[in-house]
Amino acid sequence: MGWPLRSAILSGLALLALAAASLLVGVGDLASPEILLASRVPRTLALILAGAGLAVAGVIMQLVAQNRFVEPSTAGTTESATLGMLVITLVAPDAPVVVKMLAATATALAGTALFLRVLRAMPLRARLTVPLVGIMLGGVIGAASTFVAYRTDMLQFLGTWQAGDFSTVLRGRYELLWLAAILAVVAYILADRITIAGLGRDAAVNLGLDYRGVVAVAIAIVAMITAVTIASVGTVPFLGLVVPNLVALAAGDNLRRTLPLVAAAGAGLLLACDVLGRVIRTPYEIPVGTVMGVVGSGLFLVLLLRRDARHA
């Protein structure tokens, strides 16, 4: 038990250090407690909640689709949630953000279910065609969103949901993200079942698991996490892809053991990227979505080359 405990303590400390950095870095005088309470603390909490939630959503998606290259943004989930946000904003512009989030959850669920159905109908499921199908599906749905937004003069709104940015996070405007933490806890309760589903339908049915039920609950969790993040801070690319892969390489996929690690690493990576975006060209900020795009794609490339070397 020595190794897991030590790595848990170490990753906890690293997370604390990053959170402290996030509290301290930025424009504005920390002597005034109001800046800390109204802006820095909410922003740091939002980063931790969104990072942990997105990483958890990514690993669930990868196990359910049995593919390492799948995450909400390569499965049509993100684009579907964005379309839902757009439609509800057009239909009911004054609806509270909870209602918008629920609408986005509904479309995200539908989009993800469509993706899994297309996968099931595919005769040949090579490792790389699965995310390609998801990206194409996402592209089609994204195009529909752009078309609608263009016709209704909503392109600017669309932009805010598509680019993850935490600079506007203030007290009273991020609390919905606690839902992501609750969903991560639900996923932890279901950890054994989700891991068994990741062994494939045959093995899961053999072990007496209600496979369809578990997959349905799992994608509901993924859809809801995606929707709350988009509704509160926008899309963050690569996080759900890179973090689960890194954790799987180091510690495997048995979620009962690794899910806390996935959540902590997701929170840590998002915090690090956001702090980086704040210091690169102070007093200006680079949105975390952009920083994560660069850092995440780099990490992903490293992972890809590594994996291919091993499973040639």
Partner 1 sequence: MIETQDLTRRYGDTVVVDGVSLRLPERAFVSVIGANGAGKSSVLSMVSRLLPMSAGRALVDGLDVAATPGDVLARRLGILRQDNGVAARVTIRDLVAFGRYPHSKGRLTAADRGHIADALAFLDLEPLADRFLDEVSGGQRQRAYIAMVLAQDTDCILLDEPLNNLDMRHAAAMMGLLRRAVDERGRTIVAVLHDINFASCYSDRIVAMRDGKVVAIGSPEEIVTPEVLRAVYGIDVEVVMVKGYRTVFFYR
Task: Give the binding site for partner 1 (CB under 8 A).
Answer: 62-63, 66-68, 192, 195-196, 198-203, 205-210, 248-249, 252-254, 256, 311
Contact of 70 with 130, CB cutoff 8 Å: yes
Q: Which is nearer to partner 1, 85 or 209 (CB)?
A: 209
Q: Which is nearer to partner 1, 63 or 187 (CB)?
A: 63
Taking the complex as a whole, the smallest distance from the CB of residue 268 to partner 1 amounts, in Å, to 21
Nearest CA among 8, 57, 56, 44 for reference residue 271: 44
Q: Which is nearer to partner 1, 62 or 226 (CB)?
A: 62
Taking the complex as a whole, the smallest distance from the CB of residue 42 to partner 1 amounts, in Å, to 36
Taking the complex as a whole, the smallest distance from the CB of residue 261 to partner 1 amounts, in Å, to 13
- Give every CB contact of residue 213 below 8 A, 6+ residues apart in sequence: none
* Structure tokens belonging to residue 105: 């959850």
Distance CA 249, CA 68 (A): 11
Nearest CA among 171, 161, 181, 163 for reference residue 49: 181
* Structure tokens belonging to residue 264: 């902590």
Q: Which is nearer to partner 1, 92 or 249 (CB)?
A: 249
Nearest CA among 246, 65, 81, 256 for reference residue 162: 81
Taking the complex as a whole, the smallest distance from the CB of residue 238 to partner 1 amounts, in Å, to 20
Length of the chain: 312
Taking the complex as a whole, the smallest distance from the CB of residue 146 to partner 1 amounts, in Å, to 33
Distance CA 125, CA 67 (A): 10
Contact of 37 with 171, CB cutoff 8 Å: yes
Q: Which is nearer to partner 1, 91 or 312 (CB)?
A: 312
Distance CA 7, CA 312 (A): 31
Taking the complex as a whole, the smallest distance from the CB of residue 216 to partner 1 amounts, in Å, to 15
Taking the complex as a whole, the smallest distance from the CB of residue 225 to partner 1 amounts, in Å, to 20
Q: Which is nearer to partner 1, 248 or 303 (CB)?
A: 248
- Give every CB contact of residue 301 below 8 A, 6+ residues apart in sequence: none
Q: Which is nearer to partner 1, 65 or 149 (CB)?
A: 65
Contact of 112 with 150, CB cutoff 8 Å: no
Taking the CB of residue 53, how many other CB atoms lie within 10 A of it?
A: 32
